[in-house]
Amino acid sequence: MAESAREELSALAAIFCGPGEWEVLSHSETDGTMFRILTKAEGLMGEDVPLELLFHLPVNYPSCLPAISVHSEHLTRAQSMTVKEKLLKQAENLLSEPMVHELVLWIQHNLRHVLNQPETGSGREKCTFATGTTVDDGLWMTLLHLDHMRAKTKYVQTVEKWASDLQLTGRLMFMGKIILILLQGDRSNIKEYLILQKTSKVDVDSSGKKCKEKMISVLFETKVQTEHKRFLAFEVKEYSSLDELQKEFETAGLKKLFSEFVLGLVK
């Protein structure tokens, strides 16, 4: 991570120092840093609207835009997505420099105007290289492995809702004790899905208390290639045997990835 990004994180921790305003969710030299900021902004009727802003700074930030997720009990899902789109659009004007505080200030002052505007289409994460050209990330795919689901029915419903809200297709696959989630879609939406998966209380612990998902791993992430099948919907499927699961991957053009990442999960 760039030195300017490290300095920005320190500054943000000092600025958002109130109870619960700032929380670092994860940090990795390979995956970057994920954190949450709680703030408020003026709504359509002049009321205070609490906002939970989740940022994922990739390792090459600020040369790449951050992934952003917006949540509020006072906003509909569509409104939250619109706010996210506007923040990403604003971020494009700040590319190559630390921008998180500027984005928070911008939405604090502009939420009311954003909510007055019609919804926009899904934005896409973009990276800027030394040449100054901008590259669209296109359609991406990722495979996730879950260790277990205690509250299976509710967990499955939540995953289906997230996939629908984020316009992601793919499979939630069960084979014995193996649980896999294969996602296809816009890369920024996949990243937002991962943020939701890691920060929401989606399951219950051994005592029945709601808890966040701590036993999830990303097996692989890749741009969809010509030989890969495009999934038209998100489906939940149960497989009675390893051969049946393997056929699903082979049909999707993922035979090699199955051999490299899934076979090793079989005990």
List the pLDDT tens digit at each of the 267 positions of the chain: 778 888 999 999 999 998 889 998 888 887 789 899 999 999 888 899 999 999 999 888 998 889 898 988 899 888 988 999 999 999 999 988 999 999 999 999 999 999 987 654 444 444 433 333 333 456 899 999 988 887 788 889 999 989 998 889 999 999 999 999 999 998 888 888 888 887 777 776 777 777 666 678 888 888 888 888 888 899 999 999 999 999 999 999 999 889 989 988 886
DSSP lists the bridge partners of residue 175 as 178
Q: Where are the alpha helices (DSSP H) in the chain?
A: 3-15, 77-92, 100-116, 152-165, 187-199, 242-251, 255-257
Q: Tell me, what's the pLDDT at 5?
A: 87
All domains of the chain, ordered by start, with CATH?
3-116 (3.10.110.10), 140-265 (3.30.70.100)
Q: Tell me, what's the pLDDT at 131?
A: 33
Q: Tell me, what's the pLDDT at 137?
A: 53
Q: Tell me, what's the pLDDT at 223?
A: 87
- Enumerate residues 6+ apart whose C-beta is below 8 A from 32: 1, 56, 57, 58, 59, 61
Contact 39/18 with Cβ under 8 angstroms? no
End-to-end CA distance of the chain: 37
- Pick the closest to residue 203 from 265, 145, 146 (CA basis): 146
- Pick the closest to residue 184 from 247, 121, 138 (CA basis): 138
